[in-house]
Amino acid sequence: MSRNFVVVAIVTALIFILPMAAASAANRGPDQIDIFGGERGKIPFPHAKHQDNLKDCNICHSVFPQEADAIKTLKAQGTLKKKKVMNLQCIKCHKQEKKAGKPHGPVTCSTCHVK
């Protein structure tokens, strides 16, 4: 392998990889999101705090995509059951953390749902 080839390969890799890394770092979405909660009222959600604490995006985003109003859209299409995210993600985790005596999120209705 010639030296020139190695240099060209490294430069090419950097040209493609650096913008991709920058784009994925920038695409964390908003720090704070009001999740749609229908008649029960919206749910103010500290997104950045969860991202920092949980590290793995897929803990939540395996069920709905990284898009604005993803939950509302999937529920309207009938592909995501109402209260599924709430019960199987939010409340499930908060209760586990509470039981373990760790800092935890809210587990009562009106602490999450605000009118």
Which of 39, 14, 37 shows the shortest CA–CA distance to 86?
37
104 binds ligand HEC (CB under 6 A): yes
- Rounded to whole angstroms, how far apart are CA atoms 40 and 38? 5
Of 10, 19, 22, 39, which lies in the binding site for ligand HEC, with binding defined by CB under 6 A? 39
Report the alpha-carbon angle 86-92-96, nearest 5.
155
Of 12, 53, 95, 114, which lies in the binding site for ligand HEC, with binding defined by CB under 6 A? 53
Which of 100, 96, 97, 94 shows the shortest CA–CA distance to 108?
94
98 binds ligand HEC (CB under 6 A): no
Per the DSSP assignment, residues forming a β-bridge with 44 are: 34
Give the shortest CB-63-to-ligand HEC separation in angstroms: 9
Of 7, 17, 30, 31, which lies in the binding site for ligand HEC, with binding defined by CB under 6 A? 30
| End-to-end Cα spacing for the chain | 66
Contact residues for ligand HEC, defined by CB under 6 A: 27-30, 33, 35, 37-40, 43, 45-47, 49-51, 53-54, 57, 59-61, 66-72, 75, 82-86, 89-91, 93-94, 97, 103-109, 112-113
